[in-house]
Amino acid sequence: MTRQATAEAWTDERLRAAFATVAEVAGDGSTCPSADALWACAAGSQHGEDCEATILHLTECPACATAWRLARDLQRDAEPVVLSGHSRWFRRTWVQAAAVAATLALAVGLVAYTRLGGLSRGPAAEFRGREGDWIHCLVPADEALPRDRCRLVWTAGPAGTVYDVRVTTEDLTHVVRALGLEQPELVVPAEKLAHVPAGGNVVWQVRAHLPDGALADSPAFRTAVR
């Protein structure tokens, strides 16, 4: 490979991925900027020269580079990804309709409960208080998913369970966060996987909101991406 060809092989994505996978820690952290400084610089609210000093430090300190990306992703992610594509009007209307339906269902349920002398344990009961250990990754462990069809799947909770999912690379770079999923699956858009090198892993975790209000957090899962 000629030098020109080698240089061209370093695409923007490959440079970013290589930089993000630098895991060595430089120094003892005593010269690192404070968390406040990293946050302010990522927000664009730090004074010019101070911010420049912070950025120059990032090129030498992978730990701070990781922390800076985390701040940037948090600020960038203030509006979480909504995958459903429904309009705000639709969601508001849907929520109002759901509230009316829930009230009716509650009333019917109370009447039934009173008349029948109590119901047996609901389907959600067996999922409560188990800290999400019932949530399993259903992507085969030995399978690397193609990045254009990266579908993460996990065990479903009882009917009505809603899921939040957070996906990062192994070096903590934010990939995607999805809230309010009604199905136990998430298709990660291919463009969100730019930081994941071929053969690299994404790390993901599910939070399940059970119909009775309980929360369950899964362990972190690793899935390889081709």
Partner 1 sequence: MALAGGAVAPVGSIADEEVEVLRRRIVAAVWRTCPARLTAQLEDLVQTVLTQLTLSSRRSEGKLHFSSTYIAKAAYGAIVDELRRIGRRREECLDEAADALEIASREAGPEAITASREIARGIRDCLTRLVQSRRLAVALYIQGCTVPEAARVLRWSAKKTENLVYRGLVDLRACLAAKGLKP
Residues that bind partner 1 (CB under 8 A): 1, 3-4, 6-12, 14-16, 18-25, 28-29, 32, 35-36, 38-39, 41-42, 44, 48, 51-52, 55-56, 58-60, 62-63, 65-72, 74, 77, 166, 168, 170-173, 177, 194-195, 200-201, 203-205, 207, 217, 219-220, 222
Cβ 114 to partner 1 shortest distance, Å: 32
Ranges of H-type helices in 117-207 = none
Closer to partner 1 by CB, 212 or 217: give it. Answer: 217
CA separation for the pair 148, 196 (Å, rounded)? 12
Closer to partner 1 by CB, 25 or 95: give it. Answer: 25
Q: Can you read off the two tokens belonging to residue 223?
A: 């899935």
| 48-58 and 62-76 helices, crossing angle to 10° | 120
Token pair 């970013």 is found at 16
Are 190 and 226 in contact by the 8 Å Cβ rule? The answer is no
Token pair 């966060």 is found at 177
Are 216 and 208 in contact by the 8 Å Cβ rule? The answer is yes
Which of 131, 160, 155, 150 has its CA nearest to residue 202? Answer: 150
Closer to partner 1 by CB, 10 or 90: give it. Answer: 10
Cβ 141 to partner 1 shortest distance, Å: 13
Cβ 182 to partner 1 shortest distance, Å: 20
Closer to partner 1 by CB, 82 or 125: give it. Answer: 82
| Residue type at position 195 | H
Kindly state the helix (H) or strand (E) to which residue 153 belongs, with its residue range.
Answer: strand 150-153
Cβ 48 to partner 1 shortest distance, Å: 6
DSSP 158: S
Cβ 220 to partner 1 shortest distance, Å: 5
Q: Can you read off the two tokens belonging to residue 149?
A: 């069809």
Cβ 64 to partner 1 shortest distance, Å: 9
Closer to partner 1 by CB, 8 or 133: give it. Answer: 8
Count of helix runs (H) and strand runs (E) in the chain: 6, 7
Closer to partner 1 by CB, 24 or 114: give it. Answer: 24
| Residue type at position 184 | P
Closer to partner 1 by CB, 80 or 109: give it. Answer: 80
Cβ 108 to partner 1 shortest distance, Å: 31
